[in-house]
A and B are shown apart, each in its own frame.
Chain A
Amino acid sequence: MGEFKVHRIRFFNHMPSAIRVMAFNSHTERLVVARADGAVEIFNFADNYYQEKVIPGRDGKAVEALCWVGRRLFSAGLDGEITEYDLENLRPRNSMEAYGGPIWTISSNSQGTLLAAGCEDGTVKMFEVLEDRIQFQRNLSRQKGRIISLSWHPTGSQIAAGMLDMIKIFDAETGHATHRLLVERGLQRTSNSQEVVVWSVAFLSDHTIISGDSAGKVQIWDGITGTLVRTHLLTKWDVLVLAVSPDESSVIAGTSEGTVVQFQFISSTVDQQDKQWVRTRTFKSHSHDVRALVHTDTAVVSGGVDTQLVVRPLLDKVEKNTQESAMRKIIFPHRNLVSCAKKAGLLLFQFSDHLELWRLGESDGNGETRAHTRLTSNLRVGRFGEDNICCSALSPCGGWLAYATVSSVRLYRLQLDNNITPLVPLSRLQVSKLPKELNSVHQLSFSSDSSKLFASSILSSVIVASVKELECKYLHTFKPPSGEQPVHLLSPSEDGNWLATANTGGEIHVFDLHCSVPVCGSCPTAVSIHPFSCSLVSVHADQQIFEFSLKQKEFTAWSRKLQKQGMHPLWLQRDAPITRVTFNPNNPTHILLHDTSMFCIVDQILPLPEEKTRFYNQSVLQSLSLGERLRNSHAFKVYRNFQNLLCVDLMEDHSLVVVERPLLDIVSQLPAPVQQKKFAT
């Protein structure tokens, strides 16, 4: 067990950004999410919805549309540029001005040869997708009014465009508009003059067009004759987004009320073939606008202004009461935004546009688990330039601070004086001369003696630089024998001999030994090297834990036993990945793990839990006598007193730093939702 002094910190005002648009690549099972601050996140649905990659955004570059073309990812925004991302190096590869004003939507045909962009000036611009770039091909016939939404017919011969008050169907060959479908203005809203915006269109292979508009209607049109088949009035507010299932038997619509409404293509009587679109289920998983929707084969993925990504499996498509059928809500990022200087007692909070440095106060508790943290001083480091911060690091001694954006790295020397009064800001000095190798970095880390800075760079390489007295010198580049995926985890060992890295390809390399840990299928979410036994503990997105002995170069006996027996089903059912592994120097057999909902101490000497044993038993154990307690305890001691955890770390003085971000605080910062009449209010 172990008792800790706990610094319970709730002043990290981390605010996730609203989800703006999503796109799903069914071949690679990757979902890409663009947030309002321009950040693009990639989730791997095959690997337990793990957030693999994050590409930070820039100021003034909001992503309005996303599109996968094969494995390539394109985005467009109101700045009028189409950007392709370099997913290996986590940065924009190239951008191209479309010269049509702000771009509202982009869409590629199913062959992946053409990219259509709907622009503010009323043109649909066609781009040819070339090997390394896109090239403007031509304009479709220009319309009055902006193009809000686009949808290709699966054969690529026609394209439907949602505009103000109408939907136009273009022939993709000739570029002429073939049909003009007029959308009725608001039925319920008082101002009849207000034009209706067709927020989303979907062109199905049987030439049915489905549109969702700002009058709250979902309309089904016959694309051949251009006639209205059916109108479903969903809401008083807007229908913002539509998504079609891959087999085109189901369509979902997201509304401003936060509901997702499903429509299914069902035959009206059992034996007959004539089918029609029928409104069926309603999902209410958001409190605010649903701005982005994806309909996969088995699930409805929705996101919106309330910043949550919700994966709701369709129960008619998955096996009931399995892990697959559980609803998931992804609220927090799957990476660390908090760095701790263990020796100096400093905390660094990373925001998208600035950093905050806090010093832990003297806790006035006496061994109690809830002691107060007193703020003594804080430092705000504004970022440089327009790019958002992608990673940051604080050296264990507290003397160095480094952060990186997509294009640059900054290193600061912090001059700490323990005697200064809280009001005096900490002085910082920027190290002006950085080696030129340090330009594109996606993860930063300091060695435990604070003498070296590790930075993961392009092509899975890790750059080592020594830092000493306002000087930073390039030392070496570690190149792994294989792999092109970006390194997302860096973990130097305590004694400075080893550096463990993990990349999103699932590989773990330990440098200075040049040893590779056998690859397991799932992506590691946290790695760490044990300070005494020199074994590497890695936790993966599928919730498995491995311990690899670096001396014997094999999995330890404990790890084998764990694999043989299997994890407890309740452990596997958790939906957030473990984001940090730490060790207790006082008790070498303890491994400290945490995710957003719990904090766990794994005791390697206690027996592993059987499938039938009660997993969450800490509260029960406390009420038992000592003998009973010993008999009933198992290796996984899970504490769920803390919720919405962003960081749990052990300081040098054996106090525990717990950074929480209560959900209510996030909700209170959201804009007000649309007004809805609720019963009995």
Chain B
Amino acid sequence: MVEYGDIRVVYRGGSKINFRKPVISNDSRFLLCASGESVKVFSSVTEECVHELRGHTGQVTGVLLRPSNHLQVYSCSTDGTVRLWDFTDGILVRTYVVGYPVYSIYASLNHKEVVFIVTPVQSDKRTELFQLVAVNLPQTPDQLVEARDLSAVLSDVSSNPSTIAFGRGGEYLASVNNLKMEIYFFKKNKSYSFSLREYTKNGGKNTFTCIACHPKDDCVATGHDDGKIRLWRNFKQKKEYTYSTLHWHHSAVSSLCFTPEGTNLLSGGVESVLVQWRYNQENQKDFLPRLGAAITHVTVSPDGALFSTSHSDNKITIIQSCVKVSAVIQGLVKGENVTTGLLVDPRSKALVLNGRPGHLQFYSLQRDKLLFHLDIVQQEYIHEAGLEQFEVVRAAFDASGLWLATVEERKQKSAELELNLKLWSFDEQTQSFVLNTTVSAPHEARITAMCFSQAADSQTTTLVSASRDGHFKAWQLGLPAHTDDEGPSWSCDFVGAYHGLVPRCCCFSADGSLLAVGFQEVVTVWNPTSWELLTTLSQPPGDVRNLCFGQLSCSKYLLGSNNKKMVCCWNLLTCSLEWSTSMDVSLLLVDSRSENMAAFCCQDGSTDLFVFKPSEPRPLFSQKAVCSGRVIHAVFTPREVMLESSEESSQWLNRSQLYFLTEFMDLLTFSTKAEEEKLMASSKQLVIDDTVAMTPFYLLLGKHRHEHLGNEESAERTPLPQSSVAIKELLQTPAHVLPATSFLCSMFAKSLLISVTETREENKHVDEEMESEKEEEDSDEEVETKISRPEQEAKGVQGGESTAPTLTKTQVRELRRVRKQDLSWITGLLDS
């Protein structure tokens, strides 16, 4: 157990949901996908995340429905475990410890209680050799099971999960790797391998990329690097095998999938078009084009009603019968480069950064959901290699969230740099940003820094942009020059320069009364109202990298870091150096809610974090090796609810959270134990009856309804079918066709009468309900054994319950859940 209040670095949100093939549940209501260290369960209708199955300590590398119980799911991870979950309730059923990193998982109906996993060849870890291993899962009721009964099936397989497939319900197994295909028949224990030449005569690349097996026929479809799909048949013979070729894709086929009946074959690739081939009539094919981004995985629900495609921009699209896109689950889009840095939208508290090309994405950290994309460039993005596009390179919000400034640029080899500064105002009616002003070529060279004055109460908002051309410019919202009905627009107010030096950074003080601009080695402080140079602060030589004004009580301090491993703190009242220390700070940022500042220092491959107050000599918190690699961007985000932590080291996290982005594009944050527990509790609360699609709105309404029901007589709890029909009839029939009131009265009374008798049998009903639910959940025997223990205790609780004042339905459910949860914990403890 970790000590209370301990702070640890966690992946928070924004994890890849397109990493592995998602799984659609048998009833097509849920879509499960691996997401970082957890498995997310999405509702396929509402796109909401219903559960997050946490427990793995490594990257989850595969999700698989258990063939013998369609309400359970296996997940595998690089931490060397395979876990079995009940995904409807989000409960971990069992953990199988394999002991080797698992890269993908497969199972089939033919092989009971055996899963097939891909692990690295143990002999040497350097070479990228993988093997397919069958794991016998022991049938014990324990929570934590060692699964050591491994037997190798195929060697030299690829770690990519789409290169292995089971054919005809597990009769055979097909695997492709590079230029070789191997088909292994379990019954005869014999394998056939086929290989292709690397290049065809026309220069096409023959490398295999993916495989799919027909569910009924002996036909294997393989995708290739040159966009061809081959359908292999008759592969029982080494020589007489045959294949036909389908060619529509112009570049590599990334995923292939047969529909459950085998009537259609789906394929996808970089063209972002889902192609549906008729099996055996391959001339006829259907297309679903314009899916937004390159397709990485294609899956079909077990009933064939839903298709889902994963896309390279961290998106899962759910498609109804290859016609209509019914839902889009969008994760955080991670491009190659986040040039805008991390920003927080003051209004929605969403994280803002580069998303799709030419867009800014607004990402809700609390809900781990992409809110929307704001099209900045407003030009059609053309997918073509080597074509230079406009890119959003800088963005800034003002303090109130009313204004957004963006800079986009396009650098072409032969042409001059194209720059656009755009200012967007927030429109209350449409609740989105509307373009207010476009300044083309605001500077002559690349813009290095841009910031708004932070004062929330000031009448005029000022934007300062610093550029490599040696100037910084102040932009202000001016009144419309003409009497036309156009609103006010932004114009340049002041152009500043200092001895021809290049400004690298700029910063407004918290009250907006001072502007600090770092010109290479010199820090200049300006008065933003009169635009006079107040003072210059020089420091030991070295270009200024970061500049920050202190907040709140420390607002008299100005901090700066330079590239000569120095951090300096000036007192602005005395205009003298308060202190300086030798630290190679790559990133310096300030928390707007407190005096705290954070500094990231990059040292030999890993990054250290220091959190300090400018006025205090000792850091509040420091952690060595926060993550491997450099931290590129970081931001403090204000918390919605203040955390109350007494622990000194974690106090700095009370008001805001620190998010940072590493060079591997991982979004990380710090979390305290208290916070995690709170999160766990809230996630449990979120678990509600999922017969109805769950939205926050529904949550609100549902709670209200339940409360309402609770206030009424308990008779309403389990209304008899006929009575409900009577009332429904009463309420729904139009008034002009209703019978006489006297007639209705007796009917209504009768319905009430019957319900009174019902209250006596209430206990029995609760019991029955539970019983039935349990059966539904635990159709498998070994689960039953586990649940049998809580059963006895539950009876005891029920006995008390029957005499107590009646509980509302929600309360009962809540209780039951808590009970289940607690007991599984206990069993776990007992077993260990």
Evaluate contact between B281 and A233: CB separation under 8 angstroms: yes
Residue of B nearest to A264 (CB): B242
Cβ-neighbour of A281 out of B216, B236, B244 (below 8 A): B244
Known: A266-B233, A269-B168, A269-B216. A316 touches B245 (CB 8 A): no
* Chain A residues with CB below 8 A from B245, complex form: 281-282
Cβ-neighbour of A280 out of B168, B217, B242, B250 (below 8 A): B242
Evaluate contact between A282 and B244: CB separation under 8 angstroms: yes
13 contacts between A and B (CB under 8 A): A232-B283, A266-B233, A268-B216, A268-B219, A269-B217, A278-B280, A279-B282, A280-B233, A280-B244, A281-B244, A316-B240, A316-B241, A317-B239
Residues on B lying within 8 angstroms of A by beta carbon are 168, 171-172, 185, 216-219, 233-234, 236, 239-245, 250, 280-284
Evaluate contact between B217 and A264: CB separation under 8 angstroms: no
- Produce 1/0 per residue, A277-294, CB < 8 A to B: 011111000000000000
Evaluate contact between B239 and A264: CB separation under 8 angstroms: no
* Chain B residues with CB below 8 A from A269, complex form: 168, 216-218
Given A279-B280, A282-B245, 13 further pairs, Cβ under 8 A = A233-B281, A233-B284, A264-B242, A266-B242, A268-B216, A269-B168, A269-B216, A270-B171, A270-B185, A278-B244, A279-B282, A316-B241, A316-B242
Evaluate contact between B283 and A264: CB separation under 8 angstroms: no
- Produce 1/0 per residue, A239-278, CB < 8 A to B: 0000000000000000000000010101111100000001
Evaluate contact between A281 and B243: CB separation under 8 angstroms: yes
A234 at the interface (CB under 8 A from B): yes
Q: How far does the Cβ of A273 sit from chain B's closest Cβ, in whole Å?
A: 13
* Chain A residues with CB below 8 A from B250, complex form: 679-680
Q: How far does the Cβ of B369 sit from chain A's closest Cβ, in whole Å?
A: 39
Bound state CA distance, A270 and B185, in angstroms? 10
Known: A280-B244, A281-B245. A264 touches B216 (CB 8 A): no
* Chain B residues with CB below 8 A from A270, complex form: 171-172, 185, 218, 236
* Chain B residues with CB below 8 A from A282, complex form: 244-245
- Produce 1/0 per residue, A661-681, CB < 8 A to B: 000000000000000000110
Cβ-neighbour of B234 out of A233, A262, A266, A680 (below 8 A): A266
* Chain A residues with CB below 8 A from B185, complex form: 270
Evaluate contact between B233 and A278: CB separation under 8 angstroms: yes
* Chain A residues with CB below 8 A from B219, complex form: 268
Evaluate contact between A233 and B283: CB separation under 8 angstroms: yes
* Chain A residues with CB below 8 A from B239, complex form: 316-317
Evaluate contact between B233 and A232: CB separation under 8 angstroms: no
Bound state CA distance, A143 and B412, in angstroms? 73
Evaluate contact between B218 and A280: CB separation under 8 angstroms: no
Bound state CA distance, A135 and B216, in angstroms? 55
* Chain B residues with CB below 8 A from A279, complex form: 244, 280, 282
Bound state CA distance, A270 and B232, in angstroms? 12
Evaluate contact between A268 and B218: CB separation under 8 angstroms: yes
* Chain A residues with CB below 8 A from B234, complex form: 264, 266-267
Q: Please provide the chain A residues from 291 to 324 with a CB less than 8 Å away from any CB of chain B in the complex.
A: 316-317
Bound state CA distance, A268 and B241, in angstroms? 13
Known: A233-B283, A234-B283, A679-B250. A268 touches B217 (CB 8 A): yes
Bound state CA distance, A268 and B214, in angstroms? 10
Bound state CA distance, A680 and B236, in angstroms? 38
Interface size of A by Cβ–Cβ distance < 8 Å?
Answer: 19
Q: How far does the Cβ of B203 sit from chain A's closest Cβ, in whole Å?
A: 14
Q: How far does the Cβ of A319 sit from chain B's closest Cβ, in whole Å?
A: 9
* Chain B residues with CB below 8 A from A267, complex form: 218, 234
Q: How far does the Cβ of A314 sit from chain B's closest Cβ, in whole Å?
A: 9
Bound state CA distance, A316 and B218, in angstroms? 18
Bound state CA distance, A317 and B218, in angstroms? 21
* Chain B residues with CB below 8 A from A680, complex form: 250
Q: How far does the Cβ of A318 sit from chain B's closest Cβ, in whole Å?
A: 9
Evaluate contact between B242 and A281: CB separation under 8 angstroms: yes
Bound state CA distance, A679 and B219, in angstroms? 28
Bound state CA distance, A266 and B218, in angstroms? 10
Residue of A nearest to B244 (CB): A280
Q: How far does the Cβ of A253 sit from chain B's closest Cβ, in whole Å?
A: 13
Q: How far does the Cβ of A263 sit from chain B's closest Cβ, in whole Å?
A: 9
Residue of A nearest to B168 (CB): A269
Bound state CA distance, A317 and B237, in angstroms? 12
* Chain B residues with CB below 8 A from A278, complex form: 233, 244, 280
Residue of A nearest to B242 (CB): A280
* Chain B residues with CB below 8 A from A317, complex form: 239
Bound state CA distance, A679 and B236, in angstroms? 35
Q: How far does the Cβ of A277 sit from chain B's closest Cβ, in whole Å?
A: 10
* Chain B residues with CB below 8 A from A262, complex form: 242
Q: How far does the Cβ of A317 sit from chain B's closest Cβ, in whole Å?
A: 8
* Chain A residues with CB below 8 A from B280, complex form: 278-279
Residue of A nearest to B239 (CB): A316
Bound state CA distance, A281 and B793, in angstroms? 67
* Chain A residues with CB below 8 A from B172, complex form: 270
Residue of B nearest to A233 (CB): B283
Residue of A nearest to B262 (CB): A268
* Chain A residues with CB below 8 A from B233, complex form: 264, 266, 278, 280
Evaluate contact between B281 and A232: CB separation under 8 angstroms: yes
* Chain B residues with CB below 8 A from A234, complex form: 283
List the 5 closest A-B pairs by CB distance, nearest first. A268-B217, A280-B244, A280-B242, A270-B236, A233-B283
Bound state CA distance, A268 and B219, in angstroms? 8
Bound state CA distance, A282 and B228, in angstroms? 13
Residue of A nearest to B280 (CB): A278
Bound state CA distance, A278 and B243, in angstroms? 10
Bound state CA distance, A31 and B569, in angstroms? 96
* Chain A residues with CB below 8 A from B240, complex form: 316
Bound state CA distance, A232 and B240, in angstroms? 22
* Chain B residues with CB below 8 A from A233, complex form: 281, 283-284
Bound state CA distance, A327 and B239, in angstroms? 18
Bound state CA distance, A282 and B242, in angstroms? 11
Residue of A nearest to B187 (CB): A271
Residue of A nearest to B219 (CB): A268
Residue of A nearest to B214 (CB): A268
Residue of A nearest to B185 (CB): A270
Bound state CA distance, A291 and B131, in angstroms? 51
Residue of A nearest to B247 (CB): A679
Bound state CA distance, A680 and B185, in angstroms? 42
Q: How far does the Cβ of A233 sit from chain B's closest Cβ, in whole Å?
A: 5
Bound state CA distance, A234 and B282, in angstroms? 9
Bound state CA distance, A446 and B284, in angstroms? 64
Residue of A nearest to B248 (CB): A679
Bound state CA distance, A317 and B238, in angstroms? 11
Bound state CA distance, A278 and B283, in angstroms? 13
Q: Which of B168, B233, B242, B280 has the most CB of A within 10 A?
A: B242
- Produce 1/0 per residue, A539-569, CB < 8 A to B: 0000000000000000000000000000000
Bound state CA distance, A267 and B233, in angstroms? 9
